[in-house]
């Protein structure tokens, strides 16, 4: 298990212009001592070859893996044309992910418009389509669990989707703060995870978060033999420049306690 950070953690600083994406990459490698970064599509911008090569070079310069392209998409839209556009856009990011050398491309099931049960079959159809495209291209999609009214709120939702899609090109991006029932669903799906978000919203002075027991999460990941990236995703009110380093330090201590170098 090793540590990374998603650019979502620094989204306020990136949006305000305090940092550019290249600065985020430098901070992760040189200041935080991480091994990986996760780049949101909104922060990348238009995925032109020049832009992708620039980011790949920056990651190489700071000795970082680009573990994931964190794509935002929504297959819960009721309008067929809009839902199709989301699938087309997802498929367009598959070659971009390959060019970046990213290990994973994130996808969401989405947020159902109207009745959840009515939207479920169309969501599955969209996921099957983009997963088939990823399989042909040799790209691994990772589906993130997400609450806030989304399709994937508990382990039951994850298991139902994976069974229905049935593709080796679809794995789980386990977000430790997004299950409605927290550790209960984490324990049921940890073995499916290929990438993990360590969610922080309120980072205490010692780096702990009041909402997620990361010590229990790390122990569970260790129990199932997870050897992938644990990526800090900070979404709090404090400035990321001060909150994220404390969160990273806390996770480093937890991994050191397991005898795992971060």
- Which pLDDT score, from 0 to 100, does residue 149 have? 84
Instruction: Give 205-224 pLDDT, tens digit per residue.
Output: 999 999 999 999 999 999 99
- Which pLDDT score, from 0 to 100, does residue 262 have? 63
Average pLDDT of every residue of the chain = 95
- State the Cα–Cα distance between residues 144 and 147, nearest whole angstrom: 10
For the chain, how far is it from start to end, CA to CA, in angstroms?
7
Domains of the chain plus CATH, in order, are 2-257 (3.20.20.150)
Given a cut of 70, the residues of the chain with pLDDT beneath it are 259-262
Instruction: Give 72-106 pLDDT, tens digit per residue.
Output: 999 999 999 999 999 999 999 999 999 999 999 99
- Which pLDDT score, from 0 to 100, does residue 259 have? 66
Long-range contacts for 208-214 (Cβ within 8 Å, ≥24 apart)?
208/250, 209/247, 211/177, 212/176, 212/177, 212/182, 213/183, 214/176, 214/250, 214/251, 214/254
Question: Can you give the pTM of this predicted structure?
Answer: 0.94
- Which pLDDT score, from 0 to 100, does residue 260 have? 65
- Which pLDDT score, from 0 to 100, does residue 180 have? 84
């Amino acid at each position: 298990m090793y540590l990374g950070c998603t650019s979502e953690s620094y989204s306020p600083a990136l949006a305000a212009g305090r940092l550019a994406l290249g600065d985020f990459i430098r901070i992760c490698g040189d200041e935080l001592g991480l091994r990986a970064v996760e780049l949101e599509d909104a922060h990348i911008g238009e995925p032109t070859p020049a832009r992708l090569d620039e980011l790949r070079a920056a990651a190489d310069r700071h000795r970082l893996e680009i573990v994931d392209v964190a794509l935002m998409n929504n297959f819960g839209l009721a309008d067929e044309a809009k839902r199709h556009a989301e699938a087309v856009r997802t498929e367009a990011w598959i070659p971009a992910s390959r060019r970046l050398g990213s290990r994973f491309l994130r996808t969401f099931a989405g947020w159902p418009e109207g009745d959840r049960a009515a939207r479920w079959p169309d969501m599955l159809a969209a996921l099957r389509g983009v997963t088939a495209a990823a399989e042909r291209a040799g790209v691994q999609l990772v589906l993130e669990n997400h609450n806030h009214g989304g399709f994937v709120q508990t382990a039951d939702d994850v298991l139902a989707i994976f069974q229905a899609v049935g593709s080796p090109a679809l794995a789980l991006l386990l977000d430790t703060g997004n299950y409605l029932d927290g550790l209960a669903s984490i324990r049921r799906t940890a073995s499916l995870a290929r990438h993990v978000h360590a969610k922080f919203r309120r980072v205490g002075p010692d780096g702990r978060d009041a909402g997620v027991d990361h010590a229990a999460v790390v122990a569970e990941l260790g129990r199932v033999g997870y050897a992938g990236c644990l990526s800090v995703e900070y979404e709090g009110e404090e400035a990321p420049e001060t909150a994220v380093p404390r969160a990273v330090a806390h996770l480093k201590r937890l991994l050191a306690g397991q005898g795992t170098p971060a």
